[in-house]
Amino acid sequence: MDNKTIARKLRLLSQLMELHEGNPFKIKSLVNAAFKVDKLPFPAKSKSAAELEKIEGIGKSTANKITELLETGTMAELEEYLEKTPQGVIEIMGIKGIGPKKVAVIWKDLGIENLGELFYACNENRLVEAKGFGLKTQEDIANAITFSMASHGKFLYSQVRTQADELIDQLKGLFPEGLIDCAGEFRRCCEVITKLILVVGSRDLEIAINTLKGSTVLNELSLEKNHILGRLPVGLEVDIVCVEKRYFYMELFVQTGDEHHVKAVLERSTDEVDQPTGEDLIYKKSGMEYIFPELREGVTFIKKAENNTLPKLIGHHDLKGTLHNHSNWSDGINTIEEMALFCRDELKLQYLGMCDHSKSAFYARGLSAEQVLKQHVEIDHLNKKLNDFHIFKGIESDILYDGALDYPDDVLASFDFIVASVHSILKMDEAKATSRLIKAIENPYTTILGHPTGRLLLSRKGYPIDYKKVIDACAANKVVIEINSNPLRLDLDWRWHQYALEKGVWLSINPDAHRKEGFLDMQYGILAGRKGGLYKEKCLNALTLEEIKAFFDHLKEEKQPKTPAS
């Protein structure tokens, strides 16, 4: 074991001690010793404990620890601390700029146990008000996490979108006839991107590479056969495939769809299409409608394309309102009025559903029953004031461990609609998680099932559920399923949208906004919905204000017990 490794282990021990509020003197002497060992001009392993002890700044107790480390490969005390610290918290400690004191606040006060949860909390602005943090620290942490994700080579779509779009825009202007387009995961709008593939209709690699050098968002250029490789500033790998002009569309088609899709289409081809002048011709020759890139996953939509029954995919202009959003009544940043005005004036929407957290979500300042009443008074007041716009009274009710909702029935009955979500005790087996959700779905007050699995992409798997059982229960109980549009969630996963739609379940593109800008996340929900084959007729927030009022009224009428006349 070299000095650097020893120093690192001593430092880790000191950090863990600090995290667990150990003796400050011991912590300080370990920090000093780590520094000293790191700088020793000879290997520590060449010395005995007695010799180490004599070195200034090491001392007896640390000398013994080093000897133990050299002999056994570890230290009993370190192992003890590791045992009582979640692995994810140790990873958080590895993020640049977060010392043990901050990690303690993150873990113990905010209940965050891994990098994904921390990233999510930064996006929801949850760190700003915590002790010792501020806006700047929060931003630094979010950036550091993005950087550490880059080392795994995987990115959220939202993390690479701006740079990828910029690159393509720059290059479109540079290549003659604009024969350049994106392909692969990015063109299919996948939720996670591992490589940005571009196709260029030029075999003159000299010209191509010189042109590519003109881009300010492409680094580390290199050449490999007909591929030009590079990297976006954010760290994503870029692969640019150069083909002769006449093969451009075929290559674009092949590079866009996943393997099963490409194979299924080409198998059905009636004659040679090696030099098509557009992708639509490739589908035509195979006897099918043009399939949008988002849908080119597997064979799900092949039959529909053959029968001319592809869904007319949902688009931005189809959305008429937004449900499931938070204000400063719980853990949001903006007031209800600010949120409403942004929706009305900037986004040209007709309605806003407020869904602050319910009382069990103490970490998010969930609303007590009294606060709910007060909030309703404020909403009534705003509804009188705002022209051509309506705010619905909703709540994001925690689904408790036994599947119950978070308020007594009379409070639940006072809302226009309710989003029911799991936020606590996420560690469950599939049977438990499924029955917990189904119990909540069967509650007559539940309108929408929020982020059904609790996953955070690239970091937290979410609890395992039996998707079919959960979706079937939603169908049976007329519960809408959310497509949570936060780019870290995108939950319900698009792979289950078709099953839900076949069962007649409505989906809702919910931003879960915690500030005005959060509404813009709806764009990612739309992409997820498009990938799942969602169309406006089954999207809850594509209903107009009048339609959705009738929808909520009808559900209440049908599902909720009648309140006895007083």
Interface residues toward Zn ion, by CB under 5 A = 396, 421, 512
- Answer positive or negative: Cα dihedral of 271, 272, 277, 279: positive
To Zn ion, the closest distance from the beta carbon of 282 in angstroms equals 42
To Zn ion, the closest distance from the beta carbon of 362 in angstroms equals 14
Nearer to Zn ion, 276 or 332 (CB): 332
Nearer to Zn ion, 89 or 419 (CB): 419
- Per-residue CA distances from 229 to 67, 239, 529 (Å): 48, 5, 32
- By the 8 A CB rule, do 123 and 143 touch? no
Strand order in the sheet with 237-242: 180-183, 195-200, 237-242, 227-231, 219-224
d(CA 86, CA 112) in angstroms, rounded, equals 10
- Answer positive or negative: Cα dihedral of 14, 16, 19, 23: negative
Structure letter (DSSP) for residue 183: E
To Zn ion, the closest distance from the beta carbon of 374 in angstroms equals 20
Nearer to Zn ion, 240 or 391 (CB): 391
Nearer to Zn ion, 185 or 396 (CB): 396
What's phi and psi for 437, nearest 5 deg? -65, -45
Nearer to Zn ion, 421 or 443 (CB): 421
Strands 448-449 and 417-421: parallel
Three-state DSSP at 520 gives helix
- Answer positive or negative: Cα dihedral of 126, 128, 133, 135: positive
Nearer to Zn ion, 85 or 485 (CB): 485
d(CA 218, CA 204) in angstroms, rounded, equals 19
To Zn ion, the closest distance from the beta carbon of 206 in angstroms equals 53
To Zn ion, the closest distance from the beta carbon of 312 in angstroms equals 30
Phi-psi region of 129 (alpha: psi -120 to 50; beta: other; left: phi over 0): alpha
Residues 6+ apart with CB under 8 A from 487: 156, 157, 158, 159, 191, 457, 521, 524
Tokens 């995961």 label which residue? 185
Nearer to Zn ion, 100 or 366 (CB): 366
d(CA 138, CA 144) in angstroms, rounded, equals 10
List the beta bridge partners of residue 460: 456
- Burial profile 144-182: b = 16 or more Cβ within 10 angstroms, e = fewer: bbbeebbeeebbbbbbbbebbebbbebbeebbeeebbbb
Nearer to Zn ion, 19 or 122 (CB): 122
To Zn ion, the closest distance from the beta carbon of 377 in angstroms equals 22
Nearer to Zn ion, 422 or 505 (CB): 422
What's phi and psi for 200, nearest 5 deg? -120, 135
To Zn ion, the closest distance from the beta carbon of 512 in angstroms equals 4
Nearer to Zn ion, 199 or 509 (CB): 509
To Zn ion, the closest distance from the beta carbon of 438 in angstroms equals 18
To Zn ion, the closest distance from the beta carbon of 544 in angstroms equals 24
To Zn ion, the closest distance from the beta carbon of 324 in angstroms equals 6
Q: Token pair for residue 139?
A: 């931003």
To Zn ion, the closest distance from the beta carbon of 195 in angstroms equals 31
- Give the side-chain half-sphere CA count within 13 A for 204: 6
Nearer to Zn ion, 266 or 426 (CB): 426
To Zn ion, the closest distance from the beta carbon of 429 in angstroms equals 22
To Zn ion, the closest distance from the beta carbon of 186 in angstroms equals 28
Three-state DSSP at 483 gives strand
Nearer to Zn ion, 3 or 421 (CB): 421
Helices (H), 272-368: 279-285, 302-306, 336-341
d(CA 335, CA 516) in angstroms, rounded, equals 9
Nearer to Zn ion, 360 or 421 (CB): 421
